[in-house]
Homo-oligomer: A and B are copies of this chain.
Amino acid sequence: MPVATFILPASLALQLLSAAAPAAKSAPKAVPAKPTVTAKRAAPVYAQATAEKLIGPALTDGHAYARLAELTDGIGPRLSGSPGAEAAVQWALRSFKADGVKAWLEPVKVPHWVRGEASGEVLASERTRGHPLALLALGGSPPTAPEGLTAEVVEVTSLEQLESLGAAVKGKFVFFNHTMTVAADYGRFAGLRSRGPAAAAKHGAVGALVRSLATASLRTPHTGATNFPSEGPRIPAASVATEDADLLHRLLAGGPVRVKLMLGSSELPDADSSNVVAEIRGREKPQEIVLIGAHLDSWDVGTGAHDDGAGVVMVMEAARLIAKLPQAPRRTVRVVLFMNEENGLRGGRAYAEAHAAELPRHVGALEMDAGGGRPVSVSVRAGEGGQDLLRPWLPPLTALGVTQFSAREAGGADISPLMPARVPFFGVEVDSSRYFDVHHTEADTLDKVDPQDLARSTAAVAWMTYALAEMPGTLTRPEAPAPRGPAPVTVPAQQSKTSGN
């Protein structure tokens, strides 16, 4: 998808814009006055040559996909505290330096949960000879006793239903079932995974089984973090494949069902890890920072290609391409590869704490963490006029399929700790309709990422990052979020439905 050659200095473009507007107004009434494509292209607020230098290579050089192969095929899974996570940190540091982008590590203490072995089965009864269960321990789950945990199963479909059952779940497995069918359902049901087991434990349940948060399944369990408040009881918790959830539901319709679960997980002492930070210093306003981020950690199943290898290479590529421009943009572009988005958000919090003094000078922050799908829109979270400020920068993205703003505000788990400092957010929204086919599963592998989609989203991220760093004005700062009471969950419950966690 080559980009047409149309070079026009920004200053001249602005003159043409001024000149063109009155001319259009004086046109005879018989001729429609709406601006033509040509008229629009005659008045960019940016240098077309820069759009070409960022978008052209992103669409043609295959660099993002090759880098994603290094991260997924080469390094593989990278759960916080694991050797894979450390290897990814070193790889990222090396890669930034190879790109000529200044980079360094910032320390983060991370949880160090290790999955171990896991198995489970429906025990034989009058209605079945028994079945193995396709399951994965949820991140943060304690182990069962080595001989396993056997109990009857109680099905609920909401936290409210669990509350109404109360002590009736004592001594049992609570089985959280739900009706997720499409990606947009994730936000509705993710609380069953993140908060359900703790709520079940509070009522005396001995274990929890959660239907996978999935839009496709071939006996494919989806892991993810579950959270226990530090003072409450902790019980073994696993996700089961949707097929196995359906099986439990069918068997429960006929009478009691007993399950045996064995989890060999362990929680080791917190480990030393790092955020990887890289920077291209601004040419005019280096003190103003445009942050672009993604999370370097992944789950320990699959290779985290969509979650969040794709986001990682998009922002790394954006920095590499911006660093190759003849001159740096006005403001500083800072890349942050956060550690521990998946099961702790320690990297996001560490960044916000370490850079607290700088946050008033963060003029924009983006996090890519919804997979490597094609770009569909630009999002923003700012005070008044945010979209108006960005709109003139959208035309180079038209051929990539991005012509409008998302109805949703920009955001991301790792940048959410920047909200109290009123940092404006921007984003490139991608098609994540198939994201939950593989999210947090063994199937999140390189082959699931389409090279063309990844290239287009990389191009859009590079361009929008440049826009924020180069535009004359800055986004007005949004209101600070309302203060919240203490929440038992590690990740905010109001998390965007396509965020990684």
A contacts, CB < 8 Å to B: 69, 73-76, 83-84, 87, 127-131, 134, 216-220, 242-243, 246-247, 250-251, 302-303, 437-438, 441-443, 445-447
Contacts and interface: CB of A to CB of B under 8 A. Distances in A.
Contact of A442 (B127, B134, B247, B303): B134
Given A250-B69, A437-B218, A130 B442 contact: no
A76 B130 contact: yes
Given A129-B87, A218-B216, A219-B302, A443 B73 contact: no
A214 to B, nearest CB: 9
Contact of A76 (B73, B84, B128, B219): B128
A247 B76 contact: no
Contacts of A74: 127-129
B76 A129 contact: yes
Given A75-B129, A219-B441, 5 more contacts: A74-B129, A83-B129, A246-B447, A247-B445, A247-B447
B129 A243 contact: no
A219 B219 contact: no
Contacts of A128: 73-74, 76
B243 A445 contact: yes
Contacts of A220: 218-220, 443
B251 A73 contact: yes
B447 A243 contact: yes
- Closest 6 interchain pairs by CB? A218-B443, A219-B442, A218-B220, A219-B443, A218-B218, A243-B445
A87 B127 CA distance: 13
Contacts of A445: 219, 243, 247
A282 B246 CA distance: 42
19 contacts: A69-B250, A73-B128, A73-B250, A73-B251, A75-B129, A76-B131, A84-B129, A87-B129, A217-B218, A218-B438, A218-B443, A219-B302, A219-B442, A219-B443, A220-B220, A220-B443, A243-B443, A246-B446, A250-B446
A87 B69 CA distance: 48
Contacts of A437: 218
Given A218-B218, A218-B443, A442-B134, A73 B243 contact: no
Nearest to A442: B219
A445 B250 CA distance: 13
Contacts of A217: 218, 443
A353 to B, nearest CB: 31
A441 B447 CA distance: 20
A339 to B, nearest CB: 18
A58 to B, nearest CB: 22
Contacts of A242: 447
A127 to B, nearest CB: 6
Contacts of A303: 131
A439 to B, nearest CB: 11
Nearest to A441: B218
A303 B133 CA distance: 12
A300 to B, nearest CB: 11
Contacts of A442: 134, 218-219
A121 to B, nearest CB: 11
Nearest to A83: B129
Contacts of A127: 73-74
Contacts of A438: 218
Contacts of A216: 218
A89 B299 CA distance: 44
Nearest to A437: B218
A302 to B, nearest CB: 7
A104 to B, nearest CB: 24
Contacts of A443: 217-220, 243
A242 B218 CA distance: 13
Contacts of A76: 128-131
Nearest to A69: B250
Contacts of A441: 218-219
